[in-house]
Amino acid sequence: MILRRLELVDVRSYEQQELTFEPGVTLLVGPNAHGKTNLLEAAHRVATGSSHRVASDLPLVRRDAEAGYVRVELDTDAGRRRKIELELRPGAGTRARVDGQAVRQTSDAVGVLRVVLFAPEDLAIVAGDPSERRRFLDDVLAQRRPAYAAARSDYDRVLRQRNRLLKTAGGRGGDVAATLQVWTAQLVAHAATLTAARVAAVHALAGPTSAFYAELADLPEPVTLTYRSSCGLVVSGDPGCGVPDRDALAVQLRAGLEAVADEELARGVTLVGPHRDDLELSVRGLPARGYASHGQHWTLALALRLATYDVLAEVGDHPVVLLDDVFAELDQARRARLAAACQRWGQVLVTAAVEDDVPLRGAVVDVRVVDGRSTVATR
């Protein structure tokens, strides 16, 4: 897949800006805080349905503007030209058009453009809270299985309704039991779907993550991925471990909810489900979050993203790789190994404050702030 055109209107620091791209490497060069990351963020928002930096679209819309627009054109591996437009209107929802046609829900636009983004924020995947690792898996699945984004939305909707009922249940007991059973049944059904997809993703990611880690670190340190469900299920990404089917997961999830039923009523919140699961990352048999060095955190986070490329390419178009200020954080040896990996990919967009930090050659785009607005110019 090749990203051919990216247009931003009233997005972040851009009033109106259009860029065109060719296959291969493109360097986006400019001082910090001049708008380089905003370009990659916009592409990521189109591809995955979310920003990698913020939880809502409000910060994406330029100050004093009513709405922001992101438009992309891309060529698929088969040579088909696709067009996507997002209208970001905080408080009024997001609208999307694909190939000129409005889509019923914005999740229908997710996965048309496929990207793999690595940014400094990705350190949180390894060292941060479980929510960061859940989001990582969800972003991978949203592009690998486009229907996953809609399934996640359905789960979140049911979870909100169930939590609302638990909070208002108080001491009413039987008055809410029947209604709670209805929401629990829906929650279990959606939870089993999400959990099965996540476990399958962990199995797909485990092998290439370990291989990329060894390549980047130049050390044969074993890396393992393990999915830990809040219902008690623990599944290793090792190829020898089986993947539970959806029905078996539903049984285990329901049992987990029944075990904490009294506590849920007392606390007014759902305590079992994919929203409380974790992806455990280990190096040499030790949890990376607590035992790995800063350098190992960087290498593992990058290996996860590079593995994502392979996992996505297995089931569809090859994604566009977005590297946000990555080379500045790596030593010379790791820079060289990452640069070698970049040569295997069809299109790579790289941001850098210092051009010499990037041991790659390609088209160069200068990014600057002029009169308070970001502008770009291709050399």
Q: What is the pLDDT of residues 248-261, one digit of tens each?
A: 999 999 999 999 99
pLDDT of residue 3: 97
Selection from 233, 250, 138 nearest residue 189 by Cα: 250
At the topology level of CATH, where does 123-315 sit?
A: Glutathione S-transferase Yfyf (Class Pi); Chain A, domain 2 (1.20.1050)
Inter-CA distances, 317 with 47, 193, 352, Å: 13, 24, 27
Euclidean distance between CA atoms 329 and 308, whole angstroms? 20
Torsion of CA 236, 238, 239, 243, to 10 degrees: 0
Please, where in the chain does CATH 1.20.1050.90 lie? 123-315
Please, where in the chain does CATH 3.40.50.300 lie? 1-114+317-379
pLDDT of residue 220: 78
Strand arrangement, sheet containing 363-370: 115-118, 320-324, 347-352, 24-29, 363-370, 373-378
Selection from 3, 7, 2, 113 nearest residue 70 by Cα: 7
| pTM for this predicted structure | 0.86
Inter-CA distances, 310 with 2, 201, 207, 321, Å: 16, 12, 10, 11
Euclidean distance between CA atoms 332 and 345, whole angstroms? 21
Euclidean distance between CA atoms 49 and 322, whole angstroms? 16
pLDDT of residue 356: 84
pLDDT of residue 372: 65
In CATH, the architecture of 1-114+317-379 is: 3-Layer(aba) Sandwich (3.40)
One digit per residue, pLDDT tens: the chain, 379 residues? 999 999 999 999 899 999 999 999 999 988 888 889 999 999 999 998 888 888 888 888 998 899 999 999 999 999 999 999 999 988 888 899 999 999 988 888 988 999 999 998 899 999 999 999 999 999 899 888 878 988 999 999 999 999 999 998 865 656 688 889 999 999 999 999 999 999 999 999 999 999 999 988 887 788 999 999 999 999 998 877 777 889 999 999 999 999 999 999 999 999 999 999 999 999 988 989 888 888 889 899 999 999 999 999 998 899 999 999 888 888 888 888 888 888 889 999 999 888 888 888 888 888 877 666 778 777 6
